[in-house]
Structure formats: structure tokens, C-alpha cells
Amino acid sequence: MKNTVDKKQQILKSAIDLFNHTHDVKRVSLEAIAREAHVSPTTIYNYFGTRENLLYEVIKILVQENMESSRKLIHSNISFPEKLIGLTNVKLNLATNVNNEILDTLVTQDKSIAPFIDEIYQNEIRPLWQEIIAEGKKQGYVDASLDDETLLVYMDILKAGSVNIDALKNWSENMRLIQQLSHIIFYGFMKKEVDFFRKDDTSATG
């Protein structure tokens, strides 16, 4: 059993190494991965069935590693601003170090990987955001007048929208776009507040 686990982990590690050192993941054959892992192509087929299944397992590992880094940051003793900066850097490091085809699969949420991403989002990312929102409110960085559920729905909208935006498919190549989007996400795009719902009029007449 241990030998089986070791072989599978070696195959995944070799696949990650090869995928990260090529501009075109499609050019990395199962034979090349087998050579790197010192196993036969048949062994890879036995463990993963297809090359696509192997790619999805690699993506799962990268997502889980990303989540672990984020979790450690959120549960650390550093300040709230440092946590936000750290979380942003975790995402940027992923963009810098991971092949574009893998990133595209994540961003567009290919139908084969989408259920896994949805599960991670609901069971891990959303609860972590609840923690960071609560901490931000406590420290005065997040507007305490906004309901937690409203802020979480905002995150849901961002997640759903990112799947269908072509401009995000090569996001690692346009860091200015990412920086500006991050600014809008956290601060909005208005420089002056507008009383959209006429709160001042309501309070004056009350």
C-alpha cells in the first residue's frame, strides 16, 4: 500500500515539475512524465486512467497547497493589512509559478474540475472569508454596517463572474489588470461617496 502511495505521489510530483517548466502543457506526454517519475506509462494509466485525470489531480494538489498557505496566513498573528497583502501574494505566486494552461483551467472552471472548485469554495474559502471579515470589522478595516451575508454574496458574485471573463484567462501576463481589479474589489471605484438611497433625505424628514 505504501509503495502504491509513494509511486502515485512521485508521478504527481514529476507531472507538476514538467508542467511548470513548459509553455504548453499539451506537449508534456505521459511517456515524458513516466520517464521523469521512473515508472512505466502503463503505471500512470493504472493510477489515473487518462492524461486529463492526471492534470486534474495536479490542479487539486496546487489548489490544496494554495488553501493551506491562505489558512496559515489567516490564522497567524500578523495584522489585518498584512494578512490581505499575504493572501494577495499567495494568489500572485500561483500565477507566477504555475503554467498558464493550468491557470486557465482554474479560472474558467472546466466542467471536470468545477465540482471540486465549488466544494473548496463552499467548505473552505467561504468560511475563511467569514473569519477575515469578522477580524476586519473588529479592527476597523471593514465597514461594520455591512452584513456578513452581504459581503459573502459579494464574494459569490466575484467568483461566478470570473468564470466567464476572457480577459482573466491570461491574468498572469497582465499584473496591472490584477492590481487594479484588486483595488476595486477592496475599495470600490468611487472617489467620493454618493447617497444612492437618499439616506440623508430620509433622516431629515424623520
Return the CATH number at 114. Answer: 1.10.357
Question: Is residue 206 in some structural domain?
Answer: no
Residue at 11 is within a domain: yes
Are 71 and 137 within one domain? yes
| Same-domain check for residues 60 and 38 | no
Cell 496546487 sits at which residue? 62
CB burial class (10 A; 0-12, 13-18, 19+) of residue 31? exposed
- 84 and 41, same domain (yes or no): no
Q: For residue 148, give Cα distances in angstroms to 119, 132, 154, 172, 205.
A: 20, 11, 10, 30, 29
Residue 204 lies in a domain: no
CA–CA distance, 110 with 156 (Å, rounded to integer): 18
- Please indicate, yes or no, if residue 205 is contained in any of the structural domains: no
Give the range of the structural domain holding residue 88, as residue numbers without chain letter: 55-187
Tally of domains in the chain: 2
What's the pTM? Answer: 0.71
Q: What is the pLDDT of residue 172?
A: 59
Does 71 lie in the same domain as 41? no
Grouping H, G, I as helix, E, B as strand and the rest as coil, residue 136 is: helix
**Considering the domain boundaries, does residue 199 fall inside one?**
no
Mean pLDDT by 10 residues, the chain (206 residues): 77 88 76 92 91 86 89 94 89 71 63 83 92 93 92 85 58 70 80 72 53
